[in-house]
Amino acid sequence: MSLELRGITKQFGSLVANDDINFKVEAGEIHAILGENGAGKSTLMNIVYGLLAPDKGQILVDGQEIKIKSPLDALAAGIGMVHQHFMLIPVFTVAENIVLGHEKTNRAGLLDLATAREEIIRVSKEFNFEVDPDALIEDLPVGIQQRVEIIRALIYNSKILILDEPTAVLTPQETDELLANMKKLRDSGRSIVFITHKLREVKAVADRISIIRRGKVVGTVQPSASQEEMASLMVGRPVDLTVNKADGKPGKTILEMVDLNVLDTTGRALASKINLTVSAGEVVAVAGVQGNGQSELAEAIVGLREHLTGSIKLSGNELIGRSVDECLKAGIAYVPESRELDGLISSFSITENLILDTHGEAPYSKGIFYKPAMAHQVALERIKEFDIRAQSANDPASSLSGGNKQKVVLARELSRPVELVVVCQPTRGLDVGSIEFVHQRLISERDSGRAVLLFSTELDEVFALADRIAIMYRGEIIAIVPATASREEVGLYMAGIRTATAKGGAA
């Protein structure tokens, strides 16, 4: 079946997320939609799937216009979707999740899960998925959860499959498997809409590529088009994502972790046997697929984790056992993974956010007295220095765009007297302009002699910034390689494969 969108427009308040979008995917085709974060890809697909109502526009399946008011209509029209945030109930079994919304009941009015189980096993066999119908979703790794979503779409007999950033949570190996399965599905006659912002994947599987920028389709190209062409369409100007930097000049050791274990409350290790040092004037990147213990390790360094064994030393001083406040004051700048959740208080003013971790110090306070006027003055300076685009320092942080929010966090953290900068996923969800700003700033921090520890799941970012790369897999650092290592090698480590070529290995 083919799917065509005509003139789809959607506004959120004053923001035009989708602006007169025209798009078509033919039967038996993989059509990729490529766009920066916030370009409006998910919005568009949620409209097609009936989760959002468009302000304007038509949806046609096989040339016939259809009205999609809810996901039921989409499913009935043969449209299935694998969501960016999985739509699975964690406390349900696989089978329960799959029948939800399409329940069959027996004579007594009770659920009939038997048919669903058979179907799941049948589809699993066909695609080598190995999914247990009676496993609880919350017990399954994300890769398998994604398969459950695909199985669900196939059981509903979807002829048009939408995959919204399916590779974001996968290892390079899992990604390859997924791409292969996508081809298999296409060859069985299904149409696939493949959403991503990663150029490489697009080139690997897509038959055609549409590029969206700021809610508009700015071009449709063949996979033979060059990466540079696609990137400049995506961003709207020629981009060069390589960061200009000289080689690092590592100085004395700033951060030293020895046999560090990060445990959860039940005593299970979330990160184990961590041995890593970061020196002044170098960027060490911790790479790895999301969920391999990086976040926990970062949190451990700043005192956000309670159950630790081993040692974390900052310029020779032990950090384990200290509170977050003490760790920060010891000389660490911390940019957390989630700006919205951990980095900022969105209902607080920009000023208040800029002094969130220094509010107890002069000049913002004296004794227990808080001095808002002083805070305001300093905030104005920071806003100027970091080029934060805001109407007023008294506006709530929620009024800022993603890039400016991140600048607020950076301004706050980097303005303190610190030796070590710990940054986690610093450019996640940012536009290219902001990404460039953040990257430049991190390099200049390095060049000014600070030690930088970067946690990133984006290989591009890792290679752009790092002087050394540590790869985490299942809570362990399985290799430390120089920045000159090949992408393939790092990719293999990320999948947990320890190659023989690995030298300079896990010291």
Ligand X SMILES: Nc1ncnc2c1ncn2[C@@H]1O[C@H](COP(=O)(O)OP(=O)(O)O)[C@@H](O)[C@H]1O
Task: Give contact residues for other proteins (rule: CB under 8 A).
Answer: 42, 46, 49-53, 70-72, 75, 81, 83, 85-92, 96-97, 99-103, 105, 109-111, 135-136, 138-141, 266, 268, 302, 304, 323-329, 334, 336, 341-348, 352, 356-357, 359-360, 365, 368-370, 372, 474
Distance, CA of 212 to CA of 37 (rounded, Å): 10
Of 80-119, binders to Mg ion (CB under 5 A) are 84
Question: Nearer to Mg ion by C-beta: 18 or 272?
Answer: 18
Q: How near is the Cβ of 39 to ligand X at its closest, in Å?
A: 4
Out of 5, 8, 30, 40, name the contact with ligand X by CB under 6 A. Answer: 40
Contact between 42 and Mg ion (CB under 5 A)? yes
167 in contact with Mg ion (CB under 5 A): no
Please tell me whether residue 54 binds ligand X under the rule CB under 6 A.
no
Per-residue b/e over 314-339, b at no fewer than 16 CB within 10 Å? Answer: beeeebbebeeeebbbbbbbbbbbeb
* Cα 424 to Cα 408: distance, rounded to the nearest angstrom: 15
Residue closer to ligand X, measured from CB, 39 or 301:
39
- Tell me the closest approach of the beta carbon of residue 331 to Mg ion, in angstroms: 37
> Residue 427: which of 464, 393, 474, 391 has the closest Cα?
464
Under the criterion CB under 6 A, does residue 34 sit at the interface with ligand X? no
Nearer to ligand X, 14 or 224 (CB): 14
d(CA 378, CA 396): 17
Q: Work out how close the CB of 136 gets to other proteins at its nearest, in angstroms, rounded to a whole number.
A: 8
Residue 18 near Mg ion by CB under 5 A:
no
Q: Which of 12, 184, 258, 268 binds ligand X (CB under 6 A)?
A: 12
Q: Using alpha carbons only, how large is the chain's radius of gyration in Å?
A: 25
Asked whether the bond before 133 is cis by omega within 30 degrees of 0, the reply is no
For residue 452, what are the contacts with CB-CB under 8 A and spacing of at least 6?
278, 282, 283, 284, 420, 421, 423, 442, 445, 446, 465
What is the spatial distance between Cα 174 and Cα 180, in angstroms, rounded to a whole number? 10
**Residue 39, SS3 per DSSP:** coil
Task: State in angstroms the smallest separation of the CB of 274 from other proteins.
Answer: 18
Total residues at the site for ligand X (CB under 6 A)?
11
Residue 261 contacts which entry, Mg ion, other proteins, ligand X, none (Cβ below 5-8 A, type-dependent): none
Nearer to Mg ion, 42 or 295 (CB): 42
* Using rule CB under 5 A, residue 349 touches Mg ion: no
Q: 8: alpha, beta or left, given left = phi > 0 and alpha = psi -120 to 50?
A: beta
Burial of 411 (0-12, 13-18, 19+ CB in 10 A): buried
Told to check if 39 binds ligand X by CB under 6 A, we report yes
196 lies in the site for Mg ion, by CB under 5 A: no
38 binds ligand X per the rule CB under 6 A: yes
Q: Is the CB of 40 or the CB of 80 nearer to Mg ion?
A: 40
The sheet with strand 208-213 has its strands ordered as: 79-82, 160-164, 191-196, 30-35, 208-213, 216-221
In this complex, which beta carbon is closest to Mg ion, that of residue 42 or of residue 294?
42
Asked whether the beta carbons of 21 and 7 are under 8 A apart, the reply is: yes
Closer residue to Mg ion (CB): 35 or 288:
35
For ligand X, the closer CB: 40 or 250: 40
Q: Which one of ligand X, Mg ion, other proteins, none interacts with residue 365, CB within 5 to 8 A by kind?
A: other proteins
Q: Does 41 bind ligand X (CB under 6 A)?
A: yes
Helix (H, G, I), strand (E, B) or coil at 43: helix
Q: Which of these segments, 39-47, 389-397, 442-450, 498-506, binds ligand X (CB under 6 A)?
A: 39-47
Q: Does 210 bind Mg ion (CB under 5 A)?
A: no
Beta-carbon neighbour count of residue 219 at 10 Å? 17
C-alpha distances (whole Å) from 354 to each of 21, 367, 396 are 39, 20, 11
Question: Given the complex with Mg ion, which of 163 and 465 has the nearer CB atom?
Answer: 163
Identify what 337 binds: Mg ion, other proteins, ligand X, none; CB under 5 to 8 Å per kind.
none
User: Would you tell me how many other CB atoms lie within 10 Å of the CB of residue 76?
Assistant: 13
Q: Are strands 79-82 and 160-164 parallel, antiparallel or unpaired?
A: parallel
Write out the residues near ligand X by the rule CB under 6 A.
Answer: 12, 15, 17, 35, 37-43
Write out the residues near Mg ion by the rule CB under 5 A.
Answer: 42, 84
